[in-house]
Amino acid sequence: MSIDPLSVLHSLFHCVSDSLPRAFSGRGFLGAHLPVPAKSPSSIPSFISQSTNLMPIPILSLPGKNLQYALNCLSVGDLIAFSLCSKRTKHLAKSSNRKIESICADFDTCSSIIIQHLDEELFFDFGDSWADLERGNGIEIWRKREFAHSDWIPHLLHIFNDPVIRVLSIKDVSLAYLDTIKRIIPRCNRLEISENCSDDVAKMAFLKLSPIAVKEVEVYKNIFDKENDVSKALTLNLESVIFCDYKNPLELNSDDLLMNNIANLIIHKVNITGKELNRFLKLWMKGNHSFYRPKNIELVLEKATKREEVLRGVKYQVVDYKHQLKRADGKVLLISIGWRCVVFQFQ
258: domain CATH number?
A: 3.80.10
Mean pLDDT of 330-334: 93
Say if residue 139's pLDDT is above 80.
yes
Query: Which ranges of 100-184 does DSSP label H, i.e. alpha helix?
Result: 152-159, 177-184
How far are the Cα atoms of 20, 30, 279 from residue 88, in angstroms, in the given order?
10, 12, 64
Domain closes at, from 65, 95, 125: 95
Mean pLDDT of 303-311: 93
Let me know if 105 is exposed, middle or buried by CB neighbors in 10 A (0-12, 13-18, 19+): buried
Mean pLDDT of 210-225: 94
Q: Are residues 265 and 309 in the same domain?
A: yes
pLDDT for res 43: 34
Task: Indicate the length of the chain as a whole number.
Answer: 347
Beta carbons of 20 and 82 less than 8 angstroms apart: no
Q: Average the pLDDT over each of 35-44, 54-63, 235-244, 304-313 and give the range with the smallest value.
A: 35-44
How far are the Cα atoms of 75, 155, 283, 331 from residue 37, in angstroms, in the given order?
22, 34, 80, 74
Q: Are residues 226 and 299 in the same domain?
A: yes
Say if residue 196's pLDDT is above 80.
yes
C-alpha closest to that of 188 among 210, 221, 158, 159 = 210
| Greatest distance between any 2 Cα atoms in the chain | 91
Q: Domain range for residue 31?
A: 5-95
pTM above 0.85, yes or no: no
Torsions phi, psi of 55, nearest 5?
A: -120, 125
Q: Are residues 82 and 20 in the same domain?
A: yes
Write the pLDDT tens digit of every residue in 232-242. 899 999 999 99
| Number of structural domains in the chain | 2
Domain closes at, from 42, 61, 95: 95
Going along 68-164, which residue ranges are E strands? 102-107, 111-117, 120-127, 130-134, 139-143
